[in-house]
Amino acid sequence: MPKDTGTAPAPRPAEKVRNVALVGHAGAGKTTLAEALLVATGALPRAGRVEDGTTCLDTEEVEVRQQRSVSLGVATVEHAGHRLTLLDTPGSPDFVGELRAGLRAADAALFVVSAVNGVDATTVQLWEECATVGMPRAVVITQLDRARADVDEAVRLCQRLLGEGVFPMHLLDRGPDGAVRGLVSLLEPHPETSTEAADADRLRGELIEGIIGESEDETLMERYLSGDELAVADLVADLETAVARGHFHPILCVAPLTGVGVPELLDLLVAAFPCPKEHGCPPVTRPDGKATPAIECDPDGPLVAEVIKTTTDPYLGRVSLVRVFSGTLRPDIPIHVSGHGMTDRGHPDHDVDERIGAVSSPLGTNLRPVAACPAGDICAVARLGSAETGDTLSSPEDPRLVPPWELPTPQLPVAVEAASRADEDRLAAALARLVAEDPTVRLERRPDTGQLLLWCVGEAHAEVLLERLRSRHGVAVSTVPVRVPMVETLGGPARVTGRHVKQSGGHGQYAVVVVEGEPGPPGSGIVFEQRIVGGTVPSQFHGSVEKGVRAQAERGIGGDRPLVDVHVTLVDGKSHSVDSSDAAFQAAGALAVRELAAAAGTRVLEPWCVIEVVVPGEYVGAVMSDLSARRARVTGSDADPDRDRTTVRAEIPEVELLSYPGVLRSVTHGTGSFSRQQLGYEPAPASVAVAV
């Protein structure tokens, strides 16, 4: 559970605040780097080595190991008079929702790249995503002391794959044994070092030109080109401007286990990354959609904050991690909670008033009470009963709404059931808490199959959600195969008689109907008409026959698959002046449908979907080949050369999409995504019909 670890440092003015998201693929070393920064600033007493070579914090101090790569971790430290909030984002593509939450809360992104594994396609995609929204970025290369580490190659990959404006800030200083013992700054002139880097002057020149190219002092370039030696202080002063504009991206090298590069990284975060005032605030509206003046990072401005993460603790209840954009959040003040735009995921629109409880500074899973959280800062708030991830907190007298960030659409259905009757009562409440915590989750009870589906982003996401149900919420659940709702239609035309005649003393039941049936066009549903001549079936019973036909079609012939797309015509029949009734003719109509199915046979129809798959151009061939193997019909594609993305459109059976999210992720190395829409039903192949 969250623990009180003492009073946090006093809040800093926004100019002295840096909110930094650590971004990178799983295994790049983000959490290890964050731990090293915490230890270096005294926020943690020590870090220790574990068997796999990574570091972990003392579990009695901060319990972050369980959150590695699957959840947004937050810690606040102090360095050089500045308050640094580190947002350790998950690296798996399954948790891109948490990553985007971290980017919304941050003012700059620090991309963590492994010197062993280099830059993967997911990192490039995230880099482009940050570039689209103008997020200032820098790169830190870690795992320098690992076997097979190649820093030079990692730098070359960053410059080639991440685009223009990527420049190394240091050279490595290696000892006689080849171990990295320090960094040599490229901002300062220096004699030849033990690295014997022949291109040191070239690298230094490119770095300086990159910095002064973004400088507001036009004389710097003239002085540099004329051969004047520029003061390091002048270059450092322009470094923040260069990074804040989003066009200059420094590369640093850090060995977290030995501490090499950690002081330089801390200094860069303070000197080069923008403060909240420089990065600006997201747009806001009124909850009713009306326009409102733009907000600024002003502690005295109107209160506007956003919930970027929600967790549930058995002792504290719901704990909300909040980024304050404007105004000041204080304990025990009334607030307005607004949530809009995600009703399709089980998050209904709401506007409610609540009261803030305790306000704390987060350090992993620990909370340190603070007196206030001003604009630009990040804090944790306990016991907000209605607030969910993505909701806006504002003043009840002046409510505002921040549009939610873009979230991936969950495409992997997982059918869950309570493991026992005792778990059934707790399952609904636990699932509701899961949905409140994670806006990428969608909960659905399918009326056609009766299954409870937990829609997830991917397999890793599903595993984490199921484990949270068991460990955090104490609900034992089991998963069962997802059933795709099949339907049936008539195999051909037929003419049959439905005869419902019963006599058991007193009034009996008498109804006879003659109907003709045939399969209708796809999507036509059940069409009923009558062509009675001579009143053999009185007009008051025509509707009764139709009710019986539709009820039987909805139930299906075997009781498990509805009958669809059938044209039924009432052509003849018989009635009795005493024994005929509404119920009798409903029963006769239902019997006639069963007789039609027996006479004409039925065909199993399966649901089809229209999908759009967006992938980098290099994976288009592999994606199309896989779609063809899944019985899909590719209907077209559109290429976007500016983004190196291609959209492939196809029609595909729904049953083939059950495992598609994981396959697409594997084929495209985590860079592909897809969306779906229902298309209709088509005849299923014999193998599929037999299987279901």
Does the pLDDT at position 60 exceed 60?
Answer: no
Give per-residue pLDDT as tens, 225-260.
887 888 888 888 888 888 888 889 999 999 998 899
What pLDDT sits at residue 68?
42
pTM, whole model, 2 decimals?
0.83
Residue range of the domain that includes 510: 487-600
Please give the pLDDT value at position 69: 47
**1 found inside a domain:** no
Asked if residue 63 has pLDDT above 80, the reply is no
Per residue in 25-58, pLDDT (tens digit) is: 888 889 899 999 999 998 877 644 333 333 333 3
Q: What is the DSSP string of 410-444?
A: P-EEEEEEESSHHHHHHHHHHHHHHHHH-TT-EEE
pLDDT confidence of residue 55: 35
pLDDT tens string 471-503: 888 898 999 999 998 999 999 999 999 999 987
Tokens of 15: 């100019």
Asked if residue 609 belongs to a domain, the reply is: yes
User: Of 571, 587, 556, nearest to 517 (Cα)?
Assistant: 571
Look up residue 193 and give its DSSP letter: -
Chain segment 150-199, per-residue pLDDT in tens: 999 999 999 999 988 999 999 888 888 888 888 988 988 765 554 455 57
Distances (CA, A) of 283 to 294, 343, 535: 6, 21, 69
**DSSP-derived secondary structure for 292-355:** -PPP-S-TTS--EEEEEEEEEETTTEEEEEEEEEESEE-TT-EEEEEE-SBGGGTB--EEEEEE
590 within a domain of the structure (yes/no): yes
* % pLDDT > 90, the chain: 50
Q: Please list, residue by residue across 91-113, b when 16 or more beta carbons sit within 10 angstroms of its beta carbon and e when fewer do.
A: bbbbbbbbbbbbbbbbbbbbbbb
Residue after which a domain boundary falls, among 342, 363, 394: 394
* Closest residue by Cα to residue 235 from 262, 265, 263, 214: 214
Please tell me whether residues 24 and 134 are part of one structural domain: yes
User: 61 falls in which pLDDT band (50, 70, 90)?
Assistant: very low
| pLDDT score, position 233 | 83
Q: Please tell me the distance from the alpha carbon of residue 236 to that of residue 186, in angstroms, as a whole number.
A: 12
pLDDT in tens, 313-351: 777 778 899 999 999 999 999 999 998 777 766 667 889
- Residue 404 in any domain: the answer is no
Within-domain flag for 2: no
Task: Report residue 549 as tokens.
Answer: 């036909």
Residue 575 lies in a domain: yes
CATH classification of the domain holding 433: 3.30.70.870
Between 449 and 18, the higher pLDDT residue: 18
CA 624/CA 531 separation, integer angstroms: 50
Q: How many domains does the chain have?
A: 5
The residue assigned the tokens 């239902």 is 590
pLDDT tens, 95-120? 888 888 999 999 999 999 999 998 98
For residues 471 and 353, membership in a common domain is answered with: no
Check which CATH number belongs to the domain holding 154 and give it.
3.40.50.300
At residue 1, does pLDDT exceed 50? no
Average pLDDT over residues 260-271: 93
- Please report, rounded to a whole number, the percentage of residues in the chain having pLDDT higher than 70: 91
Whether the predicted pLDDT of 366 surpasses 90: no
- Residue (of 440, 443, 411, 448) closest to 429 by Cα position: 443
On whether both 647 and 503 belong to a single domain, the answer is no
Residue 287 lies in a domain: no
Q: Report if residue 269 sits inside a domain.
A: yes
- pLDDT range class, residue 220, cuts 50, 70, 90: confident
